[in-house]
Structure 1
């Protein structure tokens, strides 16, 4: 971990391993997001349920990221 990395306000300095873990979460979120988009384009599906699923998935990925980053602010 390099000390010359700028600190993000409200976040502690992340290790290289933590940054890699967050990047893995974000990559998986993009993959899942593509699936959600495909489902949103499909006819005959319950789009309300799809949209609720999308929101819940976004929330889950956000919590995974927060769990790694452990911000010290609201």
Structure 2
């Protein structure tokens, strides 16, 4: 995930102004997500030097990829729960 500048919600249509506590909560969620994804990437790197023909390694790599995608989605939903955008977003 890229490092994004913190937003207060005032410049994005459909979002209310966020409190300092809400901004901090979103930043904590994003940091947790970054750390989790970093660990998953380390797992994937450990799998790469091995024989790629082995189906268990291929399945493990795919599992880590799916976990990364799901973590990104979880982070998005968590941030959305904090920000509570308009219903039409």
Unpaired runs of 5+ residues, structure 1, are none
Count of residue pairs the alignment pairs up = 70
State the Cα RMSD in Å.
1.6
Flag as ranges the 4+ runs of structure 1 deviating above 3 A: none
TM (normalized to structure 2)? 0.70
Unpaired runs of 5+ residues, structure 2, are 1-7, 51-56
TM (normalized to structure 1)? 0.82
- Name the residue aligned to 1:19: 23
Give 1:1-74 correspondences, 5 Å limit: 7=10, 8-43=12-47, 45=57, 46-72=60-86, 73-74=88-89
Bigger RCO of structures 1 and 2 (CA < 8 A, at least 6 apart): 1
CA distance in structure 2 between the partners assigned to 1:36 and 1:68 by the alignment? 25
Post-superposition CA distance 1:16-35 (Å, at most 9, x none):
11001001111111111210
Bigger radius of gyration among the two: 2
